[in-house]
Structure 1
Amino acid sequence: MKANLHPQWHHDTSVTCSCGNTFTTGSTQKTIQVDICSACHPFFTGEMRFVDRQGRVDKFMAKVKQAQAQQDQVRKKVAKKQAEEAKSYQQILQEQKAVLKQSKTAEVTTAN
């Protein structure tokens, strides 16, 4: 068997939280630093507060603002399109016929 294969186990590891709480447990490390423990975690305390160490809430709020701005732009475009007069199929066909007539008369006049 290989010697020194397993790590050394410490039965009196000191865990220190950023809130100031400390407790003892077992680990391969002698001391452990944590951001959140059972004394300050919202699930255990019942308090509703944000625990955001990496700026995730700020990133999410920025994405929400950007999405709302895009929705406003889309709404403006839709309102602009709706403001334009909607043409019936008959009106569209009449316009196309008029364009065809003009192109045919232009061809006839250029041919003469």
Structure 2
Amino acid sequence: MKKNTHLDYKQVLFVDSSTGYKFVCGSTYQSDKTEVFEGQEYPVCYVSVSSSSHPFFTGSKRLVDAEGRVDKFLKRYSNVKPAQPVQVAEEPVAKGKKKPSLKKKK
């Protein structure tokens, strides 16, 4: 078995950037920034949405300051022009000629 393949599992301080809510959870997240929380120093991970700010858990329809995926999509493709339909020229059919039959003759 290879040595030193797994990351260190340690306690990390997660901070909700929209509400300021802080909680400690075990994680392999690595950070250079640290903060003191409840008398101990932890590496910090800033998250945009947590259980304190997500509408499903809060029961409210409060807007989160982070841009959503739909907004990014609309912003990116709002200036794109719709594609023009391609016009196909029809070939004139010669009158009086019959198409060959596909049936087998006996």
TM-score (normalizing by structure 2) = 0.47
Choose between structure 1 and 2: higher helix proportion.
1
TM-score (normalizing by structure 1) = 0.45
Choose between structure 1 and 2: higher strand proportion.
2
Larger Rg belongs to = 1
